Amino acid sequence: MNQSIERAKTRRIAGNIFKGSVGNLIEWYDWYVYTAFAVYFSAEFFPKGDSTSQLLNTAAIFAVGFLMRPIGSLLLGRYADRHGRRAALTLSISVMAGGSLVIACTPGYGAIGVMAPVILVLARLLQGLSLGGEYGTSATYLSEVASSGRRGFYSSFQYVTLVAGQLVALGVQIVLQQILSEPEMKSWGWRIPFVIGALGALAVLWLRRTMDESEQFSKMGSETRANAGTIRALMKYPKAVLTVAGLTLGGTVAFYTYTTYLQKFMVNTEGLPKEVVSWINFVALLVFVILQPLAGMLSDRIGRRPLLISFGILGTLLTVPLFLILEHTKNPIGAFLLMMVGLIVVTGYTSINAIVKAELFPTEIRALGVGFPYGVTVAVFGGTAEFIALWCKSIGFESLFYYYVAACIAVSFFVYWRMAETSKVSRIEAEFDAEKR
């Protein structure tokens, strides 16, 4: 009988993880479609010029979208801490769907002039608002609904679906590249993935409306809930807030460097064909997805801190050599293997960063505490990584960017070195144990 109850509980947890994660996948698909197809639509939204200048413009708008993420994490984090994780996740996917639909329908620069990039900026701001709220709320939900002793494993699915969103975007790109010619892709084919994203988001709305609210939020008292999700409450945990910012800094710069910018680097610097680069990225990210739950399970056994420290050391030491070698790599297999080295190193951060942050805060401030300092840090460092890389290339000093990435990871390494092992001082586990007593 007990085994039957335990199996039913496990299935329910898995179902909630799936429903929360698939929405996360669509959110990140919508976000990544922009950067995946930038090489095709950059000329559509901006005046004629060289390819680096047009990519620089689209990268700037990519960075602008990140500016809304702290605001999204603040607004939706507060909403999640007061009204529930499920309600906030449902709202975020609705906003993302609207942003994708706007981009899909916006005429090009040749038709409406300067209004084309203006509307593109507004749509990315809308998507940034959505994604800012999605991260903190999703990390909180997955961490809270997971079973004790397996929280590292279950919470790793946030980056499984995050990267899977990018994989789906690349998969759509590869399919369209086989069906459409390059002129067709640049003319109208790039709009198709944005339509797919909008329709997918609408389908996810139903799934998110049927998932369970987290037990920890449901048991929170009405008086506590009334004061939940405020900046004043968050400021009671200054060390946790600074820890989230510090451990995110190097991780977000490395993640966006090795997953989004590297695609453009292989085309723009190495000179590899776009179609070949799409396949390299697709296969590398597929392996990266598989690594996330494996590393999450490892963290449940040995702790979170050893994985973070390994990322800090290896990322600091290997980033510059990897990019210097990649500059002169014309062999697709060699480029793939070098990209995999970078992604394996980054896994030490991506697989467990959600649970580490969630373990730092109590229930009434968890979504805001995870999301807001993360959103600010990502806006300042993650969102500008691609822009800084392209700017360094435009002034003839591309290698400066490699040292910048290594320096950011080095800063985070010192945070990892000094921080406590969160799995041993987890506020989630402390609350769980208190409920059992």
pLDDT in tens, 211-252: 888 888 888 777 677 778 888 889 999 999 999 999 999 999
Q: How large is the average pLDDT for residues 47-71?
A: 68
Residue 3 resides in a domain: no
Please check the confidence at residue 59 and state whether its pLDDT lies above 70: no
Query: Taking the C-alpha atoms of 416, 345, 162 and 212 in order, what is their torsion angle to the nearest 10 degrees?
Result: -50
Give the contacts of 365 (CB within 8 A, at least 6 positions apart). 81, 228, 229, 230, 233, 234, 236, 237
Structure-token match 């797919």, residue found: 196
Task: State residue 371's pLDDT score.
Answer: 92
Print the domain residue range for 75.
Answer: 8-212+229-436
**Per-residue pLDDT band at 288 (split at 50, 70, 90):** very high
Instruction: Tell me how far apart the alpha carbons of residues 47 and 51 are, in angstroms, rounded to a whole number.
Output: 11
Instruction: Yes or no: say if 208 and 19 are a contact pair by the CB < 8 Å rule.
Output: yes
Percentage above 90 pLDDT, the chain: 34
**Per-residue pLDDT band at 50 (split at 50, 70, 90):** low
Residue 224 resides in a domain: no
Name the residue among 406, 255, 267, 246 with its Cα closest to residue 335: 267
Task: Please give the DSSP secondary-structure letter assigned to residue 365.
Answer: G
Residue 218 resides in a domain: no
Instruction: Yes or no: say if 429 and 421 are a contact pair by the CB < 8 Å rule.
Output: no
User: Could you report the per-residue pLDDT of 351-409, keeping only the tens digit for each?
Assistant: 999 999 999 999 889 999 999 999 999 888 987 888 898 888 888 888 899 999 999 99
Helix, strand, coil tally for the chain in percent (to 5) = 85, 0, 15
Q: How large is the average pLDDT for residues 302-312?
A: 96
Helix, strand, or coil (residue 4): helix
Say what the pTM is.
Answer: 0.84
Residue 217 resides in a domain: no
Task: State residue 366's pLDDT score.
Answer: 93
**Averaged confidence pLDDT in the chain:** 86
User: Could you report the per-residue pLDDT of 136-177, keeping only the tens digit for each?
Assistant: 898 888 888 877 788 889 889 888 988 898 889 888 988 998
Task: State residue 146's pLDDT score.
Answer: 79
Query: Taking the C-alpha atoms of 127, 130, 135 and 136 in order, what is their torsion angle to the nearest 10 degrees?
Result: 150
Residue 167 resides in a domain: yes
Number of domains within the chain? 1
Interior/surface letters 168-190, b for 16+ CB within 10 angstroms, e for the rest: bbbbbbbebbeebeeeebbbebb
CATH number at residue 193: 1.20.1250.20
Phi, psi dihedrals of residue 289, rounded to the nearest 5°: -60, -45
Residue 365 resides in a domain: yes
Residue 419 resides in a domain: yes
Task: Please give the DSSP secondary-structure letter assigned to residue 364.
Answer: G
Residue 25 resides in a domain: yes
